[in-house]
Structure 1
């Protein structure tokens, strides 16, 4: 028996749409919700056909104001456990 057998697995797809700085558009919450609902419905339809092994999908809807974002990625030291041979 594999050591990973029975371990929960998830496939995550993230999309991030940005609004340009200084854009004066009045972005209405109802328009955003309608767009997100439509995208979610279409993605779920595609998932049912393309990912037949999946039994659920979580849809996260966030409206984020990134006043500051200092995201950085740092490489870790190569080891025998994180290096492809």
Structure 2
């Protein structure tokens, strides 16, 4: 797990293989009070790459700044293409 500091946000990045669903998951979590819940996740099916990745956002977190999501998508792309 790694932590990113993006302006006022501190984001934890959790990268794991979900063996039950045969996919790779990169979760993004706000540090602090909401640490236990991810607000967004990029999911890659087994054998897939960046072009097959999908983004899921937890609607309970409400609005997420587009600039923040753009940076996190770039982080996810770099992680996916590095493997």
TM-score between the two structures when normalised by the length of structure 2: 0.31
Name whichever structure is richer in strand by fraction.
Answer: 2
Max Rg structure: 1
Larger relative contact order (CA 8 Å, sep ≥ 6): 2
TM-score between the two structures when normalised by the length of structure 1: 0.31
